[in-house]
Amino acid sequence: MQAFPNPEDTLVKSTKISIDSQLLAVWIPALTAAIYPWILDAFHWSVTPTVSSNESIRINSSSTFLAALLLIAAFAVPLINIMIASRPQLSKPTAQSVRARRFALLAVTAPTVYVFFGVLSYMAGSKVPDTWIWTPVWLLFGYLASRSTDAVISEQPRTSAHLRVAHGISGSIAALYVVFHIFNHLFGLISPEAHAAVMDIGRTVYRAKIIEPILVAVMLFQIFSGLRLVWTWSETLADRYRVFQIASGVFMSVFILGHMNSVFFYARTWLDIPTDWAFAAGLPTGLIHDPWNIRLLPHYALGVFFVLAHLISGLRVVMLAHGVNSSRANRFWWAGLSFSVFISAAIMCGMTGLRLV
């Protein structure tokens, strides 16, 4: 009988557990991202009214419950992947653990990449359903990401202080537009006309000949400087708050790129239509009942949530740097996140037809 475990067996076991958990950390993101569009398809099916024999259209309460569960499942995809990206890192990160974290961060962006991909494939005139390409590609990515080696990364990289400061300054400029833009979308809760009236006032500033190119340049700078910072941060030992900040930044990078493509190229150039309320809310069918538009719902909701949460995460770092104690800074962060959820939900209610007056 063996009283104590053999240290060699323990080592073999713990290495195996760590390899298994690294593989899970790749395959969960791959699978959740791969099934994401199918969740939206199932949601669409569950909210499509059935026409009974006497021609009356009805949605029963069990399908309303199912629709709610499916919507929660769609939002759970980025959430699960943030949790995977923020798993405690090994004290000596390996190529495999870093690649797994980066892959989980990529999977966080699934809801917005799916919109970007859908717009590009539509513009390219593709006849192949998006899901037929989407699902195999994510599984292939998962396979490639799982093949990394276990080599220990010897040097801990450092983020460039200049780049961090530049990203922060340019982010504060971008925030001026973003805060107005989000405030503008809240007017959808009053009426499309109120939304248009506020947008008309804003356009005199952000669509001015010198301002608009500056705004686009600032957004592009945010994307590329942010991704550069993410690349370095994803190799370091970062706490959960920091990983959330990184994940929201990665999401926003894809969101802004895809959103600017939709506004500037797809709508204003390719379709030559105004980028107004009808364009944003997917009228006449709306966001909920159209099989394509439903993908805009998590995309917009998470876009608003993550941009606010990203700003709040940045403010938390500034607070800590100015000596605010961490429990106070963390309370501010939690309150900020709750506020972001509230604003995002309010905008989405307006975009799906709720009117307060």
CB of 356 to ligand HEM, least distance (A): 17
Which residue lies nearer to ligand HEM by CB, 181 or 289? 181
Q: Rounded to the nearest whole angstrom, what is the least distance from the CB of residue 190 to ligand HEM in the complex?
A: 15
Q: Which residue's CB is nearer to ligand HEM, number 173 or number 263?
A: 263
Token couple for 91? 């004290």
Please, what is the minimum distance in Å from the beta carbon of residue 282 to ligand HEM?
A: 10
CA 245/CA 241 separation, integer angstroms:
6
> Which residue lies nearer to ligand HEM by CB, 230 or 280?
280
Residues that bind ligand HEM (CB under 6 A): 178, 181, 185, 199, 203, 206-207, 212, 215, 219, 256, 259-260, 263, 275, 279-280, 300, 303-304, 307, 347
Which residue spans within the chain are E strands per DSSP?
Answer: 50-51, 57-58
Q: Which two tokens stand for residue 19?
A: 């390899």
Residues in the chain: 357
Task: Please report how close the Cβ of residue 211 comes to ligand HEM at its closest, in angstroms.
Answer: 8
Rounded to the nearest whole angstrom, what is the least distance from the CB of residue 75 to ligand HEM in the complex? Answer: 15
16 or 203: CB nearest ligand HEM: 203
Cβ neighbours of residue 34 closer than 8 Å, sequence gap 6 or more: 134, 135, 138, 139, 142
Q: Which of 36, 32, 192, 35 is nearest to 115 (CA)?
A: 36
d(CA 336, CA 318): 14
Interhelix angle 110-123/296-321, nearest 10 degrees: 130
Nearer to ligand HEM, 59 or 217 (CB): 217
